[in-house]
Structure 1
């Protein structure tokens, strides 16, 4: 009897995750498009820091590279939300994928010909960041359209779970490529995935042509981006959960992202002198923790006390980052990376679902761009600052300080009643 009960639970869980495929003709193409592009991105996530540290050996330079990536991203966001709500969102994603294909192909060519320098990398990484700033609000807005209420929890969980599953394979593959071959193969593979993603989006256009409203293209509309941006701010002000969280994570992301992007690669490669393959395994473990969180979240259609649950996940991630610099065991590092991925995924799924519930579809691009702007506006400064501080006082001390400050910020937000009461 117990075995039958467990089998029924597994079947119900499977049915929950199949709902987006059976009830939406658009979902499979949107899901596959993002999944394919994430294969390449997860590989270059491992390879790019290894290339930068091989060229320079400097945490400051790694911070500058990531700052140059984030600065065009951030500068694009106030305008990309307006563009996304005015023009065809899927075609904006297609344009972004074509340009990112060219960027990754050029990096691969420069590596194979030994022409790659830090200055060339600055330019190409900056273009890539600019396209990310255009792509992400469009992708968020299309998700809000495709992920209707009856499939929303399962679609969000399945999307994130499959992306993290790719990240289990991609980082390990990236580590193997760096260890055994040229990093150029990794960037070339990333370019190919953007091309395949583009082909999936061509199919998606056919199914969304009638679902997405026509965008205004008249001359008068081209001068209304400021008022449209204010409309997005007005929507955010009407929901304390939204504007408080965006403001809070504009600071929390400085602490967490700087440590994850700049100093964790340094911890593995420079401080502990571990093989890039081990770093890839660590990133894969973070993806494994995120998959576990997505499975847990997608198993139910409704969750109570979502505010406490979301910030509890952020707190768990901060604790993992705080313990990481004092851990020398590969197994211990992998376990902490899994906890970090689990906590941030719990927060991310609740946040994405709440945006889709609270924000009108016609304004989603503007609100998504404001969300990304608030979350990432200070990241270019954060990457450079954390890299510079690490060179001055040491990476271990810098990791501990910023992780502790991030934990304190999360704890402060949990003291706000409207956050704790969010359902």
Structure 2
């Protein structure tokens, strides 16, 4: 039997996808390991939150700088350097846990270093996969990439949990450091011989201003960014704070809640698989319609429904999320000039994550003020209201998928074009 990758999946695409799967397998388990490392050192739940916040703050603070830098330097080099920084962060964290008595400030500092690495990696990586394939295959290629990434996150979390129980969190953190080193080494082998040199004319401030102009000049773009600055925040509050409370009171504890979260992960894999076949003509209309189901988990928790129904709702929501993500990234790749892509991506990332710490911090006080059910209905209502508002923007409804011929010549690929290859023999 002959097995092989599709002809559109050239060398660069394969390297990028493999590196993402490798780092995803390591990092998903390491996030769990970090929490157990803090608890193992005598920390409280508050201390776990402080270490998590220490990772988030530099991520938010440095995203725009990371986007501007990625548009001034070869993006693959920024990605490799960011992987090296994450490797040092996780390696140092592992060393502390394995050899000594780690202090809270030390763990927070190393988590912050990892957050800084992610701030530079994220904007540089956005669009790299899409740029490594021809336009007609971009949507399918990104869907396959997302399928591998989501599968790695699910498998990595399960494997990490098992390894923490077997050998302790320190070795899981060490494995994550090794995974980042391997991913960075893979990305160093990207073929960039066809990439023209980037220039840094104008300075960092001008670069950020140019990126901002690209965002605000497109109502469809900034409206979705504003939408998700709130949507992501209320979903994080519902899942991180309210969900466990409802599960403990009505669903039978953490077990059913974990199954529901696992169903969401499985739904994202199924959604990515769907998007390898589904090619909507009106990209943002199809994607935005799939944001409405993101209100369903909060509504289901507010009722509350049974654990079985909640699991089904979470699975369907995962499918809807992937439809939005793939259509959104396809639209960005089609519409944004390549030389400004990372800066635009950094504003998108900033909008997506900036409100999450605030929402999770105020979730408790809001619940105390209005009650748990009212808070959850409020989360669901905000998702529906903002999505309906975004659909009133003409550009969201009208932006259509263009033919490869229409897009050709408008952008310079960030990696050399893939060479068509025949199927490998297995």
TM norm structure 2? 0.82
1:34 matched residue in structure 2: 20
1:299 matched residue in structure 2: 277
In the TM superposition, residue 342 of structure 1 has moved relative to its aligned partner by 1.4
User: Are positions 1:377 and 2:354 aligned together?
Assistant: yes
Identify which range, 279-288 or 138-147, moves more after superposition: 279-288
Is the alpha carbon distance of 1:126 and 1:392 closer, same or farther for their aligned partners in structure 2, counting shifts above 3 Å?
Answer: farther
Return the alpha-carbon distance in structure 2 between the equivalents of residues 69 and 388 of structure 1: 23
User: Are positions 1:364 and 2:341 aligned together?
Assistant: yes
In the TM superposition, residue 316 of structure 1 has moved relative to its aligned partner by 0.7
1:290 matched residue in structure 2: 268
Identify which range, 397-406 or 26-35, moves more after superposition: 397-406
In the TM superposition, residue 303 of structure 1 has moved relative to its aligned partner by 0.9
CA contact (8 A) 2:283 2:328 kept: no
Is the alpha carbon distance of 1:197 and 1:421 closer, same or farther for their aligned partners in structure 2, counting shifts above 3 Å?
Answer: same
In the TM superposition, residue 405 of structure 1 has moved relative to its aligned partner by 2.5
Identify which range, 388-397 or 76-85, moves more after superposition: 388-397
1:344 matched residue in structure 2: 321
Identify which range, 60-69 or 284-293, moves more after superposition: 60-69
1:10 matched residue in structure 2: none
2:89 matched residue in structure 1: 103
In the TM superposition, residue 160 of structure 1 has moved relative to its aligned partner by 0.3
Q: Secondary structure at the match of 2:233?
A: helix
The answer for unaligned runs of 5 or more in structure 1 is 1-13
CA deviations over 1:48-97 (Å, ceiling 9, x no partner): 45556776554x66554443322211111221121111112111111111
Return the alpha-carbon distance in structure 2 between the equivalents of residues 355 and 156 of structure 1: 12
1:414 matched residue in structure 2: 391
In the TM superposition, residue 121 of structure 1 has moved relative to its aligned partner by 3.0
User: Are positions 1:115 and 2:101 aligned together?
Assistant: yes
Identify which range, 41-50 or 167-176, moves more after superposition: 41-50
Is the alpha carbon distance of 1:89 and 1:261 closer, same or farther for their aligned partners in structure 2, counting shifts above 3 Å?
Answer: farther
CA RMSD in angstroms, aligned pairs only = 3.1
Q: 1:235 aligns with which of 206, 214, 229?
A: 214
Return the alpha-carbon distance in structure 2 between the equivalents of residues 337 and 251 of structure 1: 19
CA deviations over 1:253-272 (Å, ceiling 9, x no partner): 22123333455466668996
In the TM superposition, residue 298 of structure 1 has moved relative to its aligned partner by 1.4
2:288 matched residue in structure 1: 311
Is the alpha carbon distance of 1:44 and 1:317 closer, same or farther for their aligned partners in structure 2, counting shifts above 3 Å?
Answer: farther
Richer in helix (by share): 1
2:406 matched residue in structure 1: none
In the TM superposition, residue 226 of structure 1 has moved relative to its aligned partner by 1.8
Alignment length, in residue pairs?
Answer: 397
Return the alpha-carbon distance in structure 2 between the equivalents of residues 153 and 309 of structure 1: 14
In the TM superposition, residue 309 of structure 1 has moved relative to its aligned partner by 1.9
Q: Secondary structure at the match of 2:264?
A: helix
